[in-house]
Structure 1
């Protein structure tokens, strides 16, 4: 996977900051566009689309600082049909207008070309189980919340706090399939979604596929397939967020599995509010 990501970066450079047929690129490297985008985002700390935009504007800024005479030519060369659209994108990255960059030479914000490397230090051993599950039927109370990469998501906290204690007890009683117990389910988001993207969060349980679903509960159905189950314990939420990052930096590059479309599921084995012992369930398929 590390070699594939570096090949993708090379292709972006060869195309002058343009995104080519990523699905075809993924197939030619024995993976999927979904997994490739998820791994890029996790390892680079930004979506592929954002990296491409920054690289495109870096190249455009260099042209303007070098005295490019015609703004429309620069805009078209970098995929924009108008000077206005190009100007908005340019200002979003550099904080100044293209004309200022051409006149003053900057200041410009440079996005360096990425290069991925695999760390094999093995500092964080992970307990992982591969399990195959039938179709999952997840029921509970869902809400749309913005994606937040670090720290506690206050929108999720507020949602959980608004569920009465008796409703928590009712959900626990409904739990009758693996993964058992109360679950924190993050719906399948776009694979390279930036922070702030709205996603579905479901606080609920797993029930048998043939069970009757209470009409007052939200439902999320997940196709049958393999799951990688990662276990970790420690301070909350840092341990869970670090575990998620470690799957991308350590486990997936070293194992013959890749992500398939599906939600991420957190099962709390023990939770005190400041620390947690939990399982992270990720939908996977063989490479």
Structure 2
């Protein structure tokens, strides 16, 4: 992860894409983006934008460079798009950054620090599961605190009848939260494991490919318990193992019980593969 950050910092004046950055971290794109978000609380794309606009503001404040040249230098196709992004971060237009006393934002480079040995243990077990189908409702959601989030979508599905439809399916499987296509926006599905014959009007079907799964118990009231479990998976468990996210959907499995009780149990299912790049690096 630190190698990837160094790569980002040394290529700020170039077009940065997630595939190239993930390669610097010896990681798949899905795994890297998910790890980055869990460690920093922001997406990779947002981080790169904020770092570029921090450097752009510094350059405008101390040099006579033209706004259009600075915009092009940091990857903006036009002064208009640069101005819009600059104002969103700094609260002023680029030309105002030259004025004495104008406040600007500085977004620092992040750093990764592994937790102290033994400070946080993670319980898990591994299973193999063949491909299966889930039935439910999906939406395109947004990372972070803006726009449509997981909690918002659970609330919507309670109000629009989706829960009633899922509860009526001829299956005894638990409710699931399925995350797919992780990026700044991602697909999230509230579902149950079932076949196409169980479908109700207004629901969709999704196939979950066969995979090796690491399963993590989560104990405590929602949503804090499951959110803390995912943080531990990415901040503690992945760095402590030679596993990597397989890039397939990941699953929250909500078992029966009162989700607000201290002893409520649910599970996080993470599709995994062995990280051969790390294994070769460590053995070499």
TM-score normalised by structure 2 residue count: 0.84
Partners of 1:252 and 1:258 within 8 A in 2: yes
For 1:184, the equivalent position in structure 2 comes to: 176
2:267 equivalent to 1:279: yes
**Alpha-carbon contact 1:17-1:52 (below 8 Å) kept:** no
- 2:157 touches 2:163 (CA, 8 Å); kept in 1? no
Please give the residue correspondences for 1:1-287 in structure 2 after superposition, counting only pairs within 5 Å.
5-16=1-12, 18-20=14-16, 22-27=18-23, 29-104=25-100, 106-139=102-135, 141-144=136-139, 146-147=141-142, 153-163=151-161, 167-171=165-169, 173-175=170-172, 181-191=173-183, 193=184, 197=185, 199-207=187-195, 212=197, 214=199, 216=201, 217-275=203-261, 276-287=264-275
Unaligned 5+ segments in structure 1 are 176-180
**TM value normalised by structure 1:** 0.83
Q: Whole-Å Cα distance in 2 between the matches of residues 118 and 79 of structure 1? A: 33
Alpha-carbon distance in structure 1 between the residues aligned to 2:164 and 2:27: 45
* 1:130 and 1:226 in contact (8 A); partners too: yes
Q: Distance in 2 between matches of 1:184 and 1:57?
A: 39
CA contact (8 A) 1:231 1:278 kept: yes
- Distance of aligned partners of 1:25 and 1:273 in 2 relative to their CA distance in 1, 3 Å threshold: closer
Unaligned runs of 5+ residues in structure 2 are 276-284
Aligned-pair CA distance for 1:263? 2.2
After superposing on structure 2, the runs of 4+ consecutive aligned residues of structure 1 that deviate more than 6 Å are: none
**Distance verdict in 2 for CA 1:21–1:81, change over 3 Å:** closer
Cα separation, partners in 2 of 1:183 and 1:19, compared to 1, 3 Å:
farther
Q: Cα gap change, 1:119/1:187 in structure 2, threshold over 3 Å: closer, same or farther?
A: closer
* Cα distance between partner residues in 2 of 1:184 and 1:123: 30
**RMSD, matched Cα:** 2.6
1:11-32 Cα offsets, whole Å, 9 max, x none, are 1111125453543453465321
Q: CA deviation at 1:253?
A: 0.7
Q: Relative to 1, partners in 2 of residues 1:28 and 1:56: Cα closer, same or farther, differing over 3 Å?
A: closer
8 A contact 1:185–1:263 mirrored in 2: no
For residues 270 and 156 of structure 1, the distance between their equivalents in structure 2, rounded to whole angstroms, comes to 16
Contact residue 13 and residue 73 of structure 2 kept, 8 A: no
Q: 3-state SS of the aligned residue for 2:99?
A: helix
Q: 1:166 to 1:202 in 2, by over 3 A?
A: closer
Please say if residues 4 and 24 of structure 2, whose CA atoms lie closer than 8 Å, have aligned partners that are also in contact: no
Q: Distance between the aligned counterparts of 1:168 and 1:212, measured in 2?
A: 13
Match of 2:278 in 1: none
- In 2, Cα distance between the equivalents of 1:240 and 1:132? 22
Question: Partner residue of 2:282?
Answer: none
**Alignment check: 8 A CA contact 1:126 1:231 kept:** no
C-alpha distance in structure 1 between counterparts of 2:259 and 2:129, whole Å: 30
> After alignment, is 123-132 or 220-229 more displaced?
123-132
Q: 1:188 to 1:103 in 2, by over 3 A?
A: same
